[in-house]
Structure 1
Amino acid sequence: MAYSEKVIDHYKEPRNVGSLDKNNTNVGTGLVGAPECGDVMKLQIQVNPETNEIVD
């Protein structure tokens, strides 16, 4: 299976990595994947409570 240039680029130069403060009431966290085999992805969003827009 050949990977696209975009996938290889993101593998070599990761972006948008890190964690938001899970204790912040404006942060939502979700986990997806199969923890048994180590395939887990954590997704987080931070929402502006005044506008209900995703800000991070």
Structure 2
Amino acid sequence: MAYSEKVIDHYNDPRNVGSLDKKDENTGTGLVGAPECGDVMKLQIQV
């Protein structure tokens, strides 16, 4: 299975990465996954 050019581009040049300020009242943070095996993803949204 071949990946599309768009998928390869986003892999090579990631966008929207980093962390937002947790102290900002407009930022929401959530963790999902299984920490015991290291599968954790942090999601943040700023409204």
Could you say which TM-score interval applies, normalised by the shorter chain? 0.7 to 0.9
User: CA deviation digits over 1:5-29, x for unaligned, max 9?
Assistant: 22xx244432221000000000000
How many pairs are equivalent?
Answer: 43
Stretches of 4+ moved more than 2 A in 1? 9-15
Looking at both structures, which has the greater relative contact order when contacts are Cα pairs under 8 Å and sequence separation is at least 6?
2
Q: CA RMSD for the aligned pairs?
A: 1.6
Q: Unaligned regions of 5+ residues in structure 1, if any?
A: 48-56
What's 1:16 paired with? Answer: 16
Q: Unaligned regions of 5+ residues in structure 2, if any?
A: none
- Give identity over the alignment, percent: 74
